[in-house]
Structure 1
Amino acid sequence: MSDRSTSDAQRYLRAPEAAAHLGLSWQTLAKHRCYGTGPRYHKLGGRIVYALADLDAWAAVGLKTSTSDPGAGRLSPALRPERR
């Protein structure tokens, strides 16, 4: 029998699957990747893949219990960073 938490932590999702896991469109996830505001990813050959654990860790940064809760951090929108 395999441990589910171990197998999920080592599971990789392609960009469209990763976006669906997060409830985002694949275009939004691509923007986050380009702007450096998204979850960590791996480039394997020509493919972009995300570790399930990295997706969940990135989403957890924005976890809040109420509108007044400062939470653990802030997830940036998928916007181009301002140039100085």
Structure 2
Amino acid sequence: MNDYPIIHKEVPTFYFVGVTTGKSSINKVFPLWMEVLGRPEVVLEGIDHKKPTIGRLSGDGGADQIRHQFARGAGDP
């Protein structure tokens, strides 16, 4: 049984995890890097991870949340 269905993207996608990925400067730099590397079709998709409460981290460090977001395609509804 697969708890996390695999989502197939139409374009090659590079994921990164952060607290506020939409505001990250990597969103401006990444397309430039891909151009230089000859891979302009690769897109960047951020996964926003909840900021942990100070002194109270879950046992897996939020890994289940990250796995779930990757499995559902991160930003898909």
TM-score, normalised to structure 2's length?
0.25
Relative contact order higher in (CA < 8 Å, ≥ 6 apart): 2
Q: More helix per residue: 1 or 2?
A: 1
TM-score, normalised to structure 1's length?
0.24
